Amino acid sequence: MAPDASGTERFAHSIESRASWVAAGVTLAILSVSYGAPLLVAVGLKPIAADLGASRSVLALAGSLTWMGSGIGGVLMGWVADRTGVRVTAAFGAVMMALGLALSSTGHIWALYVGHFLLIGVFGNGAIYAPLVIHVSRWFDRRRGTALALISSGQYVAGVVWPAVFERGFDRFGWRATMLAFAGVVLLAIVPVATLCLRPAPDAPRPGRSGRARHAPAVLGLRPNVLQATLCFAAFLCCVPMAMPASHIVAFCSDLGIAPEQGAAMLSVLLGCAFFSRQFWGWLADRVGGLAAVMVGSACQTLAIWAFLLTQDEIGLFAVAGAFGFGFSGIIPAYVLAIREFFPSAEASWRVPMLLLWGMGGMAFGSWLAGALYDHFGFYAPAFATGGAFNVANLVVIGLLLLRQGPTRGVQLA
């Protein structure tokens, strides 16, 4: 049902309640722990590479495989969660993630790749992130953008808390022991919370129902799957530069003579600014719509990643890191909101994970590409310049969709 001018008709029988915010809070807590796992390689890029005798691109590939595996796993586990419940998938994901960290800590390159791609990625974060995003989106109809921004902030809570902890762990106990210790944290923190606190959403489809509409109407003048593909492509484009500073800023700072603990602090500043600003982006998305919020956030990210080329001063880099965190923090939740605005709830279990797959594919490619460009040129400026070019292409695609949308916000199919 499309809303009237005030939105009164659409929200006369809102599904939102206190339980909705409990579901969002539980999800935030889970993601704040699970997103620590991909940060281990980002924080320990130089010491792990030195210990294994590998180049940075080899280690960056492990981080890339985590993002790629998370996207692939989300498509599969979104379907599984609709049939078994999100409690099962989240607890299963935590167990797999712990096993992946344990395998990666053995010190073999193949174990690092298998552990990060298959266990931490496909069956770990893949079973946690996408199913929980879909789960929370079904608890909300009035403030869905705000809720999606809140839970996605778990990535940035993890970014504020864990880098400094990992840096101290690497320095005192070594990277292998730190990985094993975090595996225990994942098990003890996520499994009981997921099992005891996650409840079925009121807007969830009945088990066994197909999420695909047989005769879906055109959206923005496009066939539904053409619009889906366009949004997925746009997500890939903006996530390539999104991954570059987050994956390489600690090593980048070290190359400039900045102490590793300051580099870890800079990563925490980047992700901390992303956490606080994400609430603003959620508020904005609820008012202007998902596509417009993507456009504004992507424009801010573009300016910030180009700014990395203009300063090598420590104070300046802290400021640029904070600006970058502000810019990119609202983009992915806005994409999810756009999917929920343009398509019905029953299709969310495959449309949202498919978009996240392309987004995480962009993160994976961006993380690897920055490492590969560094290995070729010996410095990071070409990587940041390339990331800026990808971001400009994203702005063109989203701008064309906004022109087709006009002044309306979408079909609002809940």
Tens digit of each residue's pLDDT (9 = 90 or more) over 288-338: 888 999 999 999 889 988 888 887 777 888 888 888 888 888 888 899 889
Q: What is the pLDDT along the chain (414 residues), one digit of tens a residue?
A: 334 443 444 445 778 888 899 999 999 999 999 989 988 887 887 788 888 887 777 877 887 788 788 888 988 888 888 888 899 999 999 999 999 999 999 988 899 899 999 999 999 999 999 899 889 988 888 888 888 888 888 877 887 788 889 988 988 898 899 999 999 999 999 999 999 998 888 865 555 444 444 445 667 888 999 999 999 999 999 999 888 887 777 777 777 777 777 777 877 788 778 877 877 888 898 888 889 999 999 998 899 888 888 877 778 888 888 888 888 888 888 998 899 889 887 787 788 889 988 988 888 788 888 888 888 888 888 888 898 999 999 999 999 999 988 765 544 444
Measuring CA to CA, how many Å separate 63 from each of 35, 43, 275? Answer: 12, 11, 21
Q: Taking CA 369 as the corner, what is the angle to CA 255 and CA 237, rounded to the nearest 5 degrees? A: 125
At 107, is the secondary structure helix, strand, or coil?
coil
Give Dmax (Cα) for the chain: 63
Place of tokens 């904070």: 322
Structure tokens at 387: 């990331």
* pLDDT tens string 158-175: 877 888 899 889 888 988
C-alpha span between 347 and 333 (Å, rounded): 17
Domain 19-201+218-405, second-level architecture? Up-down Bundle (1.20)
